Amino acid sequence: MMFLNAVILGIIEGITEFLPISSTAHLIVVSKLLGIPQTDFQKFFEVFIQAGAILAVVFLYTQYVDSHHQLLKNIAFSFIPTAIAGLIFYRLIKSVFFESILLVTITLFVVGLVFFLVEDLIKKGKIKIERSITNISWQEAIIIGLGQALAVVPGVSRAGAVIVTMLLMGYRREQAAVYSFLLAVPTILAASFFDLYKMRNVIMGSRGTIDYLFVGVVASFVTALFSVRWLVSYLKKHTLVIFGIYRILLAIILILAFLITTIY
């Protein structure tokens, strides 16, 4: 990996981590476009640079959480299902999920359709989104965590899974987005440090890896600051439809690229 690649991937991570378009899918696709092989270090890098995005959330929302301490308990309940899923499927995630562009393409497309379906239900008044995250019960927090656990599959989008789950429960879009940011803190930090422990020999045995990780984290942090603020502002007045369109178009492009590569 070159430093420029580390910067590019860090920027991609920062932009996409909190948007419901799957940061993992974008990192996998961009890595392939840059010709970066999916080595053990590369897989670790793509997880660890999420820490930069998380630092952006901590920077922006520490004061908010200080004013709403009850959220910490709910976030803990939401984190449990994801932690269990991560531990159970760790080997599968690393050995299969991160290698399958086809799986990424399918999930991008399917979840894009789910966005349309949910927004259509809201438009028809079958789902009323009026609730605030200050009123989440511990049972609901666990359900939200189960929704987030689906994001172990690349292409699903952790933020997208949380937001859709919460919309179905009647929470306002921007409120769901904020909760997805806060829930990302323990989720991604745990994944990053668990990966660090699992791949400690790979990291220590590679020269210059610390520098790449630092560059990626900084790039992720800076771009995530803008991404987080933009998404909350956008969802106050708009729906998830634009993200559904983007996901489906990206899936179609990936399918066409796959077909062209296969033919030629």
The list of the chain residues with pLDDT below 50 reads: none
What is residue 99's predicted lDDT score, i.e. its pLDDT? 59
What is residue 110's predicted lDDT score, i.e. its pLDDT? 96
What is residue 246's predicted lDDT score, i.e. its pLDDT? 97
Q: Which residue intervals of the chain are DSSP H helices?
A: 3-16, 23-33, 40-48, 50-67, 70-88, 90-95, 101-123, 138-149, 158-168, 173-198, 200-204, 209-235, 241-263
Write out the DSSP string of 119-158. Answer: HHHHHTTSS---B-GGG--HHHHHHHHHHHHGGGSTTS-H
What is residue 25's predicted lDDT score, i.e. its pLDDT? 85
Q: What is the pLDDT of residues 125-163, one digit of tens each?
A: 999 999 999 999 999 999 999 999 998 888 899 999 999
Number of domain units in the chain: 1
**Alpha-carbon span 110 to 126, nearest angstrom:** 21
Domain containing 92 equals: 3-263
What is residue 96's predicted lDDT score, i.e. its pLDDT? 55
Its pTM stands at: 0.90
